[in-house]
Amino acid sequence: MSSKRRVSPLTVILYAVMVILTIILLFPFFYMISKSLMTSEEVIQPIPQFLPKKPQFVNYISLFSTNDYLKGLLNTLLVVCWNMFFVPLSAGIIAFSFAKLEWKGRRLMFALMLGTMMLPGAITQVPLYSLYFEFGWIDTLWPFIIPNLFGGGAVYIFLLTQFMRGIPKEMDNAAKIDGASALRRFFAITFPLSKAILVYVIINVFLAYWGDYFGPLMYMHRSDAPKTFALVLFEKSLDENAAMDMANIRMAGGVFMSIFPAVLFALFQKQLIDGVMVGSVKG
Amino acid sequence: MIMEKKSIQLRKFFKTNYTGWLFNLPLGIGLLVFTFIPVICSFVYSFMWKYDGFTFDAWNFKNYIQMFTADWDEVSRSFLNTVLYAIISIPLGLITSYFLALLVNTGLKGVKAFRVLYYLPVTIPAVVGGLLWKDMFGQTYGIFNRILGVVGISPFPFFSNAKTSLFSVFVMNLWSVGGGMILWLSAFKNIDKQYYEAVQIEGGGRWAGFLHITIPMSTPMIFYNVIMSTIGSLQYNGTLTFAPNDGRGWDDSLYMYAVKIYQDAIKSGNIGYGSALAWVFLIVIALITVILFKTSKWVFYGEEA
């Protein structure tokens, strides 16, 4: 501490606490990455190791040369890409009808939608299962494809509506006077102007479907069902005693699944945090 | 005559409103097919004794009776686990994330980088978190017991013992304390600086500012958080990813109500009974939410409210 400027002891303590917390909170990441680079012999050592002797990057190649994980990734990508396109689009159309169009019944529909936000998922989960069974959707990806054409969730529609209400009415009215149809006004004016909140919706849709293991767990029963990456990882982690020496591959799967959400957050921090704020203000 | 008038009215109504309804149609269909019909079905199923999705024995209340008689041990166990989990994890999360938010709400250099680092664990998918913590918490092969061994502490059983299971879940949940931190930071940001200046003029210190400004001004945030995390924690099924015995834990110590619904309805195919379990659950959650709203006099909504 020989610097000329005097550093207050409080500042030193604050930094020390922050650094210690960082080490504690990041340790699991470090350990997951480290274990994903160990050999099969190293992961079954009676004394758990902190670091691999020599990092085995080949584990990541083995991860995707096993058919299960590769197929899982393709299924996940299909679901994720579909929803990243159709959820914002359909939610946007619905939000437009709430924010920019005048019609009787608007308040009623809005209230009905908000009412479903509080409904616990457990209530619809069981009958939806029967419904999808009737449709022949069990052991297929349809439960993650079709329902999301209808807005993809009240929260997204609500956030988009609130945002669109903030866009000045004059722009919409001017286009109306010029004779632009509602569909035209939506695609040319309101939808593009909602870019900020659309980014938030798209990222959240990605996060929701990228990491979802419970949905697929409900609807995938046959061994040849189109399982998502998250479900494959979940099932592999269940029979841990059967294949302890595969722990390194599982960890590689975990690292792979964690990279994208972490990078997305780092890139879009501002939008994501602002979105959280919009969500919390409504309460 | 009247009929004609009505039809003109109807046509007029249609003409002025059809664009709105047309744009709103996806929501209408979605709510009807994927929410309202399932809710009604679920209610009907709950009165169908031994309904497995194909056939059932009789219409009666036996599903509800079974919950409180033959299956009472499991129902009460999983319900108590869930309530205990919610009662401890909600305040624990609110308080720890509050202090973390205070820590990174200073103007110190690099503080924003620390915020990002603290939030990182929240971005990890639940299934990966479960996989990782199950591994680290292993009784004999887990890395945490090796660390404890270095400090001279004997191995801690974590999820391998009914007594330490729930405690271990709370430790695990502290990892994602960054989620609450973000919410707190946004609450702090919304508080007008003038209030703190007023406190200083009145001769109050930091503590007074905290007590009379920060806390009351954050109450809408706290309330929102309590409501959302109550509804969320009561439906918690994350134990599936890490608890032994099919997500039930040793001696059912981690058996959550939502997991029980899944096990009974989907895995065992007892749709009728699962629906009854879910309806009782809905009523309990609704009651708790109503009580929370009724006792929300402590929430401060500013001058105009």
Q: Domains (ranges, CATH) in chain A?
A: 62-281 (1.10.3720.10)
Task: Looking at the structure, tell me whether residues B102 and B239 fall in a common domain.
Answer: yes
* Cross-strand partners of A88: none
**B contacts of A112 (beta carbons < 8 Å):** 31
Q: Domain for residue B106, yes or no? A: yes
Task: Looking at the structure, tell me whether residues B177 and B285 fall in a common domain.
Answer: yes
Q: What is the pLDDT of residues B158-197, one digit of tens each?
A: 898 888 999 999 999 999 999 889 888 888 887 888 888 8
Q: B1 or B288, which is more confident? A: B288
Task: Looking at the structure, tell me whether residues B1 and B83 fall in a common domain.
Answer: no
Task: Looking at the structure, tell me whether residues B22 and B99 fall in a common domain.
Answer: no
Q: Indicate if the pLDDT at residue A242 is higher than 60.
A: no
What is the residue range of B20's domain? 1-38
Backbone phi, psi, residue B48, to 5° = -100, 110
- Strand-strand pairing, B58-59 and B48-49: antiparallel
- Kindly state the helix (H) or strand (E) to which residue A240 belongs, with its residue range: none
d(Cα B234, Cα B213) in Å, to the nearest integer? Answer: 31
Task: Looking at the structure, tell me whether residues B159 and B262 fall in a common domain.
Answer: yes
| CA B100 to centroid of chain Cα atoms | 21
Residue with token string 């419970």 = A214
Q: Domain for residue B47, yes or no? A: no
Q: Domain for residue B49, yes or no? A: no
**B contacts of A259 (beta carbons < 8 Å):** none
Question: Is the minimum CB–CB distance between A22 and chain B shorter than 8 Å?
Answer: yes
Diameter over CA atoms, chain A:
77
Kindly identify which residue of chain B lies nearest to residue A269, measuring between CA atoms. Answer: B116
Contacts of A252 (CB under 8 A, 6+ apart): A36, A59, A60, A62, A63
Q: Domain for residue B279, yes or no? A: yes
How many Cβ contacts (< 8 angstroms) between chains A and B? 253
Contacts of B121 (CB under 8 A, 6+ apart): A25, A28, A29, B129, B175, B176, B178
d(Cα A92, Cα B28) in Å, to the nearest integer? Answer: 14
Q: Indicate if the pLDDT at residue B199 is higher than 60.
A: yes
Question: Is the minimum CB–CB distance between B103 and chain A shorter than 8 Å?
Answer: yes
For the segment A49-71, the average pLDDT, to the nearest whole number, is 89
What is the DSSP secondary-structure string of chain B?
-HHHHHHHHHHHHHHHHHHHHHHHHHHHHHHIIIIIHHHHHHHHHTTEET--SS--SEESSHHHHHHHTTTHHHHHHHHHHHHHHHHHHHHHHHHHHHHHHHHTSS--TTHHHHHHHHHHHHHS-HHHHHHHHHHHT-TTT-HHHHHHHHTTPPPP-GGGSHHHHHHHHHHHHGGGTHHHHHHHHHHHHTS-HHHHHHHHHTT--HHHHIIIIIHHHHHHHHHHHHHHHHHHHHT--GGGGT-HHHHT-GGGTT--HHHHHIIIIIIS--HHHHHHHHHHHHHHHHHHHHHHHHTGGG----S--
* Cross-strand partners of B59: B48
* B230 in Cβ contact with B87 (< 8 Å): no
Report CA-CA distances (Å) from B66 to B43, B60, B262: 16, 11, 17
Residue with token string 């590769």 = A70
Q: Which of residues 207-236 of B touch A (CB under 8 A)?
A: 220-221, 223-225, 227-228, 231, 234-235
pLDDT band at B124 (very low <50, low <70, confident <90, very high): very high
User: What is the sign of the dihedral through the CA atoms of A4, A5, A10 and A12?
Assistant: negative
Backbone phi, psi, residue A202, to 5° = -60, -45
Task: Looking at the structure, tell me whether residues B9 and B81 fall in a common domain.
Answer: no
Q: Domain for residue B287, yes or no? A: yes
Task: Tell me which range, A179-188, A250-259, B104-113, is most confidently predicted by mean pLDDT.
Answer: A250-259
pLDDT band at B303 (very low <50, low <70, confident <90, very high): low
Q: Indicate if the pLDDT at residue B229 is higher than 80.
A: yes
Q: Domain for residue B59, yes or no? A: no
* Cross-strand partners of B48: B59
Report the pLDDT value the prediction gives residue A282, as an integer from 0 to 100.
43
First to last CA, chain B: 51
Contact across the interface for B146 and A93, Cβ inside 8 Å:
no
Task: Looking at the structure, tell me whether residues B70 and B32 fall in a common domain.
Answer: no
* A72 in Cβ contact with A262 (< 8 Å): no
Q: Domain for residue B303, yes or no? A: no
Question: Is the minimum CB–CB distance between A256 and chain B shorter than 8 Å?
Answer: no
Identify the CA nearest to A192 among candidates A156, A155, A167, A170.
A167
Task: Looking at the structure, tell me whether residues B140 and B278 fall in a common domain.
Answer: yes
Count of structural domains, chain B: 2
Backbone phi, psi, residue B49, to 5° = -75, 125
Contact across the interface for B45 and A127, Cβ inside 8 Å:
yes
Task: Looking at the structure, tell me whether residues B211 and B176 fall in a common domain.
Answer: yes
Contact across the interface for A280 and B117, Cβ inside 8 Å:
no
Q: For residue A264, how many C-alpha atoms fall within 13 Å in the half-sphere facing its CB? A: 20
Task: Looking at the structure, tell me whether residues B202 and B154 fall in a common domain.
Answer: yes
* B173 in Cβ contact with B93 (< 8 Å): yes
For the segment B72-76, the average pLDDT, to the nearest whole number, is 94
Report the pLDDT value the prediction gives residue B2, as an integer from 0 to 100.
66
Report the pLDDT value the prediction gives residue B232, as an integer from 0 to 100.
87
Task: Looking at the structure, tell me whether residues B21 and B168 fall in a common domain.
Answer: no
Q: What is the pLDDT of residues A101-160, one digit of tens each?
A: 989 889 999 999 988 887 888 888 889 998 999 899 999 999 999 999 998 888 899 999
Q: Indicate if the pLDDT at residue A59 is higher than 70.
A: yes
Q: What is the pLDDT of residues A163-186, one digit of tens each?
A: 999 888 888 888 888 888 889 999
Q: Indicate if the pLDDT at residue B304 is higher than 50.
A: no
Task: Looking at the structure, tell me whether residues B174 and B223 fall in a common domain.
Answer: yes
The CATH code of the domain that includes B222 is 1.10.3720.10
Long-range pairs, A51-55, Cβ under 8 A, ≥24: none
For the segment B84-91, the average pLDDT, to the nearest whole number, is 94
Q: Domain for residue B269, yes or no? A: yes
Q: What is the pLDDT of residues B12-59, one digit of tens each?
A: 777 778 888 999 999 999 999 999 999 999 999 999 998 888 888 889
